[in-house]
């Protein structure tokens, strides 16, 4: 039987430049490589994988995940440090949310230490390069499966 779970993986600004953008920090994998890693990690669950440089579009996609997804993985990139509107959109979700970063923002500049997204995330994976996505996808789907197996109240 096919896996009924649907995972949305959303990527914020500048992640379209993965592979060429500060590779000593973000690695040599491209966003297409990251997408392939997510699909492999999802082991048959449907993966909707998107990237945008626009805050409003990211918020529209979070709202879409509210009704369409079983779980959400989000790398908000710079918007994680700045966007209360993105936090508000995430707070409207009832599905598991895993925040994901290639680097470990807490070990970088002070302004990266705070994430609005973390306030709405079930958990955070950061610092493992593209492997962060593999871990985030597995964690998100595990949470979604646990939820699906619980009797509804």
- Structure tokens of 51? 């990237």
Q: Identify which of residues 95 and 124 has a Cβ nearer to ligand DQA in the complex.
A: 124
Q: Whole-number minimum distance, CB 13 to ligand DQA, in Å?
A: 7
Residue with smaller CB distance to ligand DQA, 44 or 56: 56
Return the number of other C-beta atoms located less than 10 Å from residue 112's C-beta. 16
**Catalytic site residue 26?**
yes
26, 79, 116, 133: which is the annotated catalytic residue? 26
Q: Applying CB under 6 A, which residues contact ligand DQA?
A: 14, 75, 77-78, 101-103, 105, 112
Comparing CB distances to ligand DQA, the nearer of 53 and 122 is 53
Contacts of 102 (CB under 8 A, 6+ apart): 18, 25, 26, 27, 75, 126, 127, 128, 129, 130, 132
The residue behind tokens 């492999």 is: 40
For the chain, the 3-state helix, strand and coil shares in percent, each to the nearest 5, are 50, 15, 35
Catalytic residue among 8, 79, 101, 133: 101
Closest separation between CB of residue 75 and ligand DQA, Å? 5
Residues belonging to the active site: 26, 101
């Amino acid at each position: 039987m096919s896996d009924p779970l649907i995972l949305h993986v959303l990527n914020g600004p500048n992640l379209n430049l993965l592979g060429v953008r500060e590779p000593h920090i973000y690695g040599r994998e491209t966003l297409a490589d990251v997408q392939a890693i997510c699909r492999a990690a999802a082991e048959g669950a449907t993966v909707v994988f998107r990237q945008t440089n626009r805050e409003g579009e990211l918020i529209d996609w979070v709202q879409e995940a509210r009704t369409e997804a079983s779980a959400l993985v989000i790398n908000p990139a710079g918007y994680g440090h700045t966007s209360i509107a993105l936090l508000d959109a995430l707070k409207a979700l009832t599905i598991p949310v895993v925040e994901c970063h290639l680097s470990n923002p807490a070990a970088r500049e002070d302004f990266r230490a705070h994430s609005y997204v973390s306030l709405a995330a079930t958990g955070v994976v950061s610092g493992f390069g593209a492997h962060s996505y593999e871990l985030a996808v597995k964690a998100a789907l595990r949470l979604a499966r646990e939820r699906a197996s619980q009797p509804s109240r």
